[in-house]
A = this chain, B = another copy of it.
């Protein structure tokens, strides 16, 4: 079992803004992809090269959001993505996990780096009001 793990600290006095950025369609549009929709209880994230459908399996206000991937690249389907939030002084700490990868394939290396840039986009979207969601995202390699 191999997981993608990340940690960012968002400078904000309480976790409500980070939670909104993760748990609302408008929030998600601000840092992951501008093409985010919710249909039949599923979140649909679309990018120039494809997309992901997620089922929200947990949404505990200001504490935790978790999704299960129900459609997308085969390496992603069945994996889970979670965000644990807690406040420490002037920072909302975000612990991110993308778990359930079957193999540490090269695509997983790419997704790990890419998640980091999107987490920095999330941080920036809350701190400054301006993230870098697709299609204006940071490119990390030739698969981007």
Chain A interface residue count, CB cutoff 8 Å, equals: 33
Q: Give the residues from 130 to 144 in chain A that come closer than 8 angstroms, CB to CB, to chain B.
A: 138, 140-144
Q: Contact: B138 with A109, CB < 8 Å?
A: no
In angstroms, Cα B110 to Cα A104, docked, is: 20
CB of A84 to closest CB in B, whole Å: 10
Copies per assembly: 2
Residue A31 at the chain B interface, CB threshold 8 Å: no
A25 at the interface (CB under 8 A from B): no
Q: How far is the CB of A62 from chain B (nearest CB, A)?
A: 18
Does A108 touch B at the CB level, under 8 Å? yes
The answer to whether A5 touches B104 (Cβ under 8 A) is: yes
Report chain B residues within 8 Å CB of A104: 3, 5
A-B contact pairs, 11 of them (CB 8 A): A2-B2, A4-B112, A5-B108, A5-B112, A7-B113, A8-B141, A89-B142, A91-B142, A113-B119, A113-B120, A123-B140
